Amino acid sequence: MTEPDPDSARATGDPGATSDTDDVAEPAEPAEPAQDAADIAQPARLPREVYVLVGASFLIAIGYGIIGPALPNFAHSFDVGLTAASFVVSAFALVRLAFAPVSGRLVTKFGERRTYLWGVSIVAVSTILCAFAAEYWQLLLFRAVGGVGSTMFTVSAIGLLIRISPPELRGRASGLWGTSFLLGGVAGPVLGSALVAVSLRAPFLVYGIALVGATALVFWQLRRSELASRQEDKDAPTMTFRQALRHPTYRAALMSNLANGWVVLGVRMSLMPLFVTAVLARDEAFTGLALALFAGANALVLLGSGRFADTYGRKPPALAGLALLAVGTVGLGLIEDTWIFLAATVVTGIGAGCLNPSHNAALADVLGAKARGGSVLAGFQMAADVGAVVGPLAAGAIAERWSFTAAFGVTGVVAAVALALWVLARETLPAKVDAATPARRG
């Protein structure tokens, strides 16, 4: 068997590599002795920069929710059909998906902090312009431009979290970040519904102002941060998407993020409301209850699953989360009892909460804190976007052609495929990798 190349192991950040210069030897490098000594002297804590990103993500998520109730109706007010009104929503997602590779290259070239600030600024300006749109094509154009900025700050935010979070706290940092997005997403529609009563343009102004505030917060707090600016190191290794694909855990994370987008971002929001009306014969209030229970179950386990992933490994919560996602999703289409349907919704929410911190932390482990990997981050984000776009279309077509049971069943199969890949994945928790490596060398 050919021995792995030490330089390749360092560049790819593969925690499973067996080179003498891999992650096991990094604590002995002269570049970071003070940090290692501090880690030994006191328990690791999340740096201030993580909480800055968490606060910004909360503002951004609230804004998404604020314009949600207004956007389709605002587009329809320009005397266009329902298809054209819906396309304003789809255009944002499609532009995000198409621009993700470019965002990855921007992160690699200019760094996460700059790309993040540019991205949020673009969404802020485009959203404010939406409030002043005089024709449908203007609204469509401004919203599409917002998709460019959205993927820029999403990809760069993941990279920033990887860079500034201690390896042993990556799961907790991801759980905290995900919780802030979730809570913002729950609060946003409530505010948005109130603003729509004032004006269909008001939500866009409020969201734009919130984004300006998020941009100012991140710029002010991170402008002199050594952690956030570490990407500017010209000697930092670069990991390509092709290199990352060689790692089984990255392949598993791609598939689980696709499943997450398919189930959580797509089918949950598109197929569940239709199922509630057509099969359960319940109204929109019941749909709101089901979605709220999903969000509540998700929020309850996010932080705990992140802590578990940091203590016992990334694989156990990822496997448990995908199993619950698969079982819960399939169960949604098999039952017509409303209480059991709500129970299946809770199971699905718990599954999503278990999965997200673990596969985000595994992505960070594979990439490593020192490596530049914009294309790796973009690929991960694109997987979720593909699931969110393709999932509702595929599930809707299956439900229309055959049944809701078949649609939910296929959705569960997507989660099951991701589960199979995670069974084959390697554990990447640094402490476990460090403990296992000497045994492999011996």
- Looking at the domain assignment, is residue 213 inside a domain? yes
Domain boundary among 211, 232, 253: 232
Position 339 in a domain: yes
Are 111 and 171 members of one domain?
yes
Answer whether residue 439 is part of any domain.
no
Structural domain includes residue 163: yes
Same domain, 246 and 222: no
- Six token digits for residue 232: 């500017």
Question: How deeply is 221 buried, as exposed, middle or buried, from its count of CB atoms within 10 A (0-12, 13-18, 19+)?
Answer: middle
CATH of the domain at 73: 1.20.1250.20
Tell me, rounded to whole angstroms, the distance of Cα 336 from its chain centroid: 31
Quick one: 312 and 205 in the same domain? Answer: no
Is the pLDDT score of 294 beyond 80? yes
C-alpha span between 104 and 132 (Å, rounded): 31
Q: Which has the higher per-residue pLDDT, 47 or 38?
A: 47
pLDDT at residue 114 tops 50 = yes
Specify the amino acid at residue 51.
Y
- pLDDT of residue 138 exceeding 90, the answer is yes
* Residue type present at position 180: S
Residues 256 and 149 in one domain: no
Confidence of residue 8 (pLDDT cuts 50, 70, 90): very low
- Whether 32 is in a domain gets the answer no
What value, to the nearest 5°, has the Cα angle with vertex 92 and ends 241 and 411? 65
pLDDT band at 19; cut points 50, 70, 90: very low
Residue 59's pLDDT is 85
Per-residue pLDDT at 67 exceeds 90: no
- What is the percent of the chain where pLDDT is above 70? 84
Residue predicted with more confidence, 396 or 27: 396
The tally of domains found in the chain comes to 2
Query: Are 128 and 197 contained in the same domain?
Result: yes
More confident of the two residues 155 and 435 = 155
Query: Tell me, what's the pLDDT at 112?
Result: 85
> Which tokens belong to 110?
């200019």
Maximum average pLDDT range among 18-22, 65-69, 192-196, 344-348? 344-348
Cβ partners under 8 Å of residue 397, min gap 6 = none
Mean pLDDT for 30-36 is: 39
In a domain? residue 6: no
- H/E segment holding residue 274: helix 268-278
The answer to whether residues 94 and 240 belong to one domain is: no
pLDDT category, 427, cuts 50, 70, 90? Answer: very high
In the predicted structure, residue 2 carries a pLDDT above the cut 80: no
For 175-211, the DSSP string reads: HHHHHHHHHHHHHHHHHHHHHHHH-SSHHHHHHHHHH
In whole angstroms, what is the distance from residue 115 CA to residue 122 CA?
Answer: 10
The answer to whether residues 132 and 272 belong to one domain is no
Q: Which domain holds residue 367?
A: 236-428
Residues 3-32, mean pLDDT to the nearest whole number: 39
pTM for the whole structure = 0.79
Of 186, 206, 232, the residue that ends a domain is 232
Q: What pLDDT does 351 receive?
A: 95
Q: In terms of domains, do 140 and 193 share one?
A: yes
Angle at 22 between CA 364 and CA 17, to 5 degrees: 75
Amino acid 121: pLDDT = 94
CB 408 within 8 A of CB 333: yes
| Residue finishing a domain among 232, 248, 273 | 232
Please indicate, yes or no, whether residues 266 and 217 belong to a single structural domain of this protein: no
Task: Look at residue 270 and tell me if it is in a domain.
Answer: yes
When pLDDT is averaged across residues 215-232 and rounded to a whole number, the result is 74
The mean pLDDT of 282-310, rounded to a whole number, is 87
Cα torsion angle, 127, 129, 134, 139, sign:
negative
pLDDT (tens digit per residue) in 315-360: 999 999 999 999 999 988 887 788 999 999 999 999 999 999 999 9
Q: Which of 40, 36, 18, 19 is nearest to 27 (CA)?
A: 36
Q: What is the mean pLDDT of residues 193-200?
A: 82
Res 30: pLDDT: 34
